[in-house]
Structure 1
């Protein structure tokens, strides 16, 4: 069984009838669009998509910072006024 990772779901045929209405009814929540009772794709509002991308970018930065901290001993100290 495949999990549906959304609070709202709609059939593909209902989605095709009026996608804008589906998005309005869901508000800021993701919607699983189902094909034969299985998620075909998820629809999210632009604001939620941007928030997801921001979160992923933050996770990448955290990973980079942690990686750089492991090589801190190799760093060269500089005076910010001379850079």
Structure 2
């Protein structure tokens, strides 16, 4: 039996980055949590992949809504690249 979950969480940009990093490495998380139980290992990976898929669209929207870099920072970056 499955159940549809629709949680709402408030995360800072830094916290969103951490969540993205965690969700990008489901096998490493499963290795840490259940190295000796193949079935549980597989379940952990499956759940993390489902969560990653659910958050993927949201993460793309956040990136699109990030404020533009300050003009001064942009000028400094372009000068640094031309060297």
> Shared fold by TM > 0.5?
no
Write 1 or 2 for the structure with the bigger share of helix.
2
Q: TM-score, normalised by structure 1?
A: 0.28
Write 1 or 2 for the structure with the bigger share of strand.
1
Q: TM-score, normalised by structure 2?
A: 0.28
